[in-house]
Amino acid sequence: MTHADLLQTIPALNGRYDIYGNIHKGLRRAQCLLLARLGSNDFEDVTTTDKLLGDLRRLLSMAAAHVKHEDTEIHAALRSRGISTDGVDEQHDDHRAAFEALEARIADVETAAAARRTEAGRALYLAFAAYIADDFAHMHEEETVIGPVLWQTFSDAELHAMEMRIVSALPPEENMAFTRMMLPAMNPEQRTMMVGGMLQGMPREVFAAVVEFAIRPSLSEAEFQALRSSLSLAA
C-alpha cells in the first residue's frame, strides 16, 4: 500500500465502536513528544539523558504490550472467524525486531564514551524516527483497513468485550500508565466516555486512586475541570 493509497482510505465511523482509536491517539502523541525530546536533548548532559532514556524505555515497553494485546485479542478473534491476519502479524513481528534494535541504540548511548555520546544520540533519534514512521503507517492501516473488517465481523458489544478483556488483564500500575498516556490525546467527548466507564465500573476507592494518580496528573487544570463538570464529579 502506497502513501497515496493510505490517504484515500479514511472510512467513516458511522457510530461504530472504535477499538483502536484511543490507544492509537495516545501512542501517537507520546511518540511525537519523545521524538521531539530526543531531537533537542543534550546527550552530554548525563542527568537529562538518563531521564529521557528511561522514559523511552517505558514507552517502548508499553508499545510492546499493546502489540501483544492486539495479537492475543483482536488478531485471535479475527482468525477464529476465518479471517487471515498474516499482513498485520508480519508488521507486528517487524515491530518486535524494532524494539530490540532500539534497545541496542539506547544501550549504545548509555555506554558511549563522552566524545561519541552526541553521535550515538543522533543515531538513536533517527532510528526512533524511522520506527515511528513505520508505526504510524501501521496504525493507519489498522484503523482504516482492519477496523472496517472488525465492524463487518463483530458487534459493538463483542468489540467492547475484547477491549475490556485487555484492560482487565493489565496490572494496576500498567493500567494507570496507559490511562496517563491516552487521556491527554483524547477529545473531551472521548475522555468523558472513558472516565465515565471507569466511574461506573470501579469501586469508589479504586476510582479515586485513578483520579489522583492517573487522570488529574495527565490533564491541564482546565481540562480536568471540564471533565469533572461533564461527569458531575465531586471536587
Among 140, 169, 198, give the residue marking a domain's end: 169
Average pLDDT of each block of 10 consecutive residues along the chain (235 residues)? 66 91 97 98 97 98 97 97 96 98 98 96 98 96 95 96 93 94 96 92 91 95 95 79
Q: Mark whether 184 and 152 lie in a shared domain.
A: no
Kindly report the three-state secondary structure assignment for every residue of the chain.
Answer: CCHHHHHHCCCCCCCCCCCCHHHHHHHHHHHHHHHHHHHHCCCCCHHHHHHHHHHHHHHHHHHHHHHHHHHHHHHHHHHHCCCCCHHHHHHHHHHHHHHHHHHHHHHHHHHCCHHHHHHHHHHHHHHHHHHHHHHHHHHHHHHHHHHHHHHHHCCHHHHHHHHHHHHHCCCHHHHHHHHHHHHHHCCHHHHHHHHHHHHHHCCHHHHHHHHHHHHHHHCCHHHHHHHHHHHCCCC
Residue 5: inside a domain, yes or no?
Answer: no
Look at the chain and report how many structural domains it folds into.
Answer: 2
Domain boundary among 139, 169, 199: 169
32 and 120 together in one domain: yes
Domain C-terminal end among 127, 144, 169: 169
pLDDT for the residue 233: 82
User: Is the same domain home to 120 and 82?
Assistant: yes
User: Is residue 117 one of the residues assigned to a domain?
Assistant: yes
Question: Are residues 150 and 194 both part of a single domain?
Answer: no
What is the pLDDT at residue 11? 87
- Same domain (yes/no): 103, 88: yes
Q: What CATH number did the domain enclosing 107 receive? A: 1.20.120.520
The pLDDT value recorded for residue 1 is 57
- Whether residue 11 lies inside any domain: the answer is no
Domain-embedded: residue 35: yes
Decide if 8 is inside a domain. no
Whole domain around residue 145: which residue ranges? Answer: 17-169
Whether residue 222 sits in one domain with residue 129? no
Domain annotation covers residue 12: no
Are 176 and 165 within one domain?
no
Q: What is the 3-state secondary structure (H, E, C) of 54-65?
A: HHHHHHHHHHHH
Does 126 map to a domain?
yes
Same domain, 112 and 27: yes
Q: pTM for the whole thing?
A: 0.93
In this structure, the answer to whether residues 85 and 155 fall within a common structural domain is yes
Same domain, 216 and 163: no
| Residue 111 domain-assigned (yes or no) | yes
- Are 123 and 56 found together in one domain? yes
Q: Are residues 176 and 164 in the same domain?
A: no
State the burial class of residue 195 (Cβ atoms within 10 Å of its Cβ: 0-12, 13-18, 19+).
Answer: buried
